[in-house]
């Protein structure tokens, strides 16, 4: 798998290696300085490959049903994990923190979105949400996406809700009394989140904030999965120096917000 041996290189296994994201990550790792791809793991493969190939790091880009087990395996074997897969709700995050407490040298990054623009958009939205009466999130993705709402939308809404709560802002005004099921979207805490699935899209999100007489829209578009790769590589280069759990790539950035 590795084209050359470099004693100091990070030894990286990519899980979900044949998928849309995983295949991009395989190429990005192969082309990155200071990294060796030692395993490209698919759904039919054993996780023992990580041990047999001496992986020091893994990237998980699989499916919500598989990611928790994959990360648990990595932590138990002292392998640092950079995780882009969705499905990490608060229950899973708590269980992971408990697992990491017994493996204090291991770092795990759970990153709902690796694109720098998306990370910034979420941070801006969290900051701005406390200043507006109304706040809603619309996420728009390719139709092969298996989960809704997107992990990014859930995380953005959680951050917005926390900022509104801390500032004492109540729920967005809404007089709806009668609706078709789902017409107002899902709710994350008290923020409405709407999911669009459309052929031609990759990954997009718009946060709408409104007060009397004005609206602020914060939009991010990933037009190509290449947009996620600098974040994946930053995660791999940083995770070993950040033992324990980091939730969100912003944890590795100095956004100063
Ligand atoms: N954080 C971020 O920036 C981003 C995160 N994502 C998230 O990443 C995940 C993957 O997305 P995407 O690449 O589009 O999905 P794909 O369906 O294209 O890829 C998922 C891959 O995972 C494989 N897989 C399933 N189970 C396992 C397992 N147990 N071990 C190893 N491989 C497995 C699948 O194999 P098979 O086909 O054989 O089942 C498939 O190749 C999703 O949760 C998505 O939301 C996506 C984009 C950006
Ligand atoms: O499935 C995708 O494509 C994406 N998944 C992540 C999410 O659910 O937030 C990140 C990005 O939106 C692309």
Q: Which residues contact 230 (CB under 8 A, 6 or more apart)?
A: 114, 116
> How many structural domains comprise the chain?
2
Q: Find the catalytic residue in 77, 99, 127, 145.
A: 145
Q: What is the CATH number of the domain that holds 106?
A: 3.40.50.720
Measure CA 217 to chain center. Answer: 22
Residue 74 belongs to a domain: yes
128 and 52 co-located in one domain: no
Q: Which residues contact 73 (CB under 8 A, 6 or more apart)?
A: 47, 50
203 lines ligand 2 (CB under 6 A): yes
Give pLDDT tens digits for 122-133.
999 999 999 999
Q: Are the CB atoms for 205 and 156 separated by under 8 Å? A: yes
CA of 7 from ligand 1 middle (Å) equals 30
pLDDT of residue 7: 76
233 lies in a domain? yes
**Domain for residue 4, yes or no?**
no
Establish if 64 belongs to a structural domain. Answer: yes
Tell whether 214 and 236 lie within a shared domain.
no
The protein residue whose alpha carbon is closest to atom 13 in ligand 2 is 203
| 170 in any annotated domain | yes
DSSP 158-201: HHHHHHHHHTT--PPP----S--TTTT-EEETTEEEEEEE-TT-
- Residue 179's CB: how many other CB atoms inside 10 A? 8
The verdict on 104 and 157 lying in the same domain is no
- Asked whether residue 2 carries a pLDDT value surpassing 70, the answer given is no
Domain that holds residue 170: 116-223
Tell me whether residue 145 is one of the annotated catalytic residues: yes
Say if residue 203 is in the same domain as residue 241.
no
Is 126 inside any structural domain? yes
Q: If pLDDT is split at 50, 70 and 90, which confidence band does 8 have?
A: confident
CATH of the domain at 154: 3.30.360.10
pLDDT value at 1 more than 70: no
Across residues 187-192, what is the average pLDDT?
97
**Do 246 and 184 lie in a common domain?**
no
Same domain, 39 and 95: yes
**Ligand 1 pocket test: which of 63, 67, 120 has the largest number of ligand atoms within 8 Å of its C-beta?**
63
Helical H segments across the chain, by residue range:
20-31, 48-52, 64-76, 90-101, 116-128, 151-166, 229-238
Question: Is the residue at 2 inside a domain?
Answer: no
Instruction: Tell me which of 67, 125, 139, 150 to substitute to probe ligand 2's pocket, judged by most ligand atoms within 8 Å of the beta carbon.
Output: 150
Instruction: Look at the pTM and tell me if it is higher than 0.80.
Output: yes
> Above 90 in pLDDT, residue 5?
no
């Amino acid at each position: 798998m590795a084209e050359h041996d470099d004693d100091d290189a990070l030894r990286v296994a990519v899980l979900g290696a044949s998928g849309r994201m995983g295949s991009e990550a395989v190429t990005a790792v192969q082309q990155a300085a200071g990294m060796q791809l030692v395993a490209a793991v698919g759904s039919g493969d054993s996780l023992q490959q990580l041990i047999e190939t001496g992986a020091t790091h893994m990237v998980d880009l699989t499916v919500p049903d598989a990611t928790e087990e994959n990360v648990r395996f990595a932590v138990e074997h002292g392998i640092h994990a950079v995780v882009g897969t969705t499905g990490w709700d608060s229950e899973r995050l708590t269980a992971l923190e408990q697992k990491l407490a017994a493996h204090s040298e291991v770092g795990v990054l759970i990153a709902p979105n690796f694109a720098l623009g998306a990370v910034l958009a979420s941070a801006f939205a969290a900051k701005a949400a406390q200043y507006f009466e109304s706040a809603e999130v619309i996420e728009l993705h390719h139709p092969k996406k298996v989960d809704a709402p997107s992990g990014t939308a859930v995380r953005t809404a959680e951050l917005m809700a926390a900022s509104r709560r801390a500032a004492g802002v109540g729920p967005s005004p809404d007089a709806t009394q009668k609706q078709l099921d789902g017409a107002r979207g899902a709710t994350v805490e008290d923020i409405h989140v709407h999911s669009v699935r459309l052929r031609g899209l990759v990954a997009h999100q718009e946060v709408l904030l409104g007060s009397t007489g004005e609206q602020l829209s914060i939009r991010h578009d990933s037009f190509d999965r290449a947009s996620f790769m600098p974040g994946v590589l930053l995660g791999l280069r940083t995770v070993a120096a950040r033992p324990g759990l980091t939730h969100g790539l912003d944890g590795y950035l100095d956004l100063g917000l």
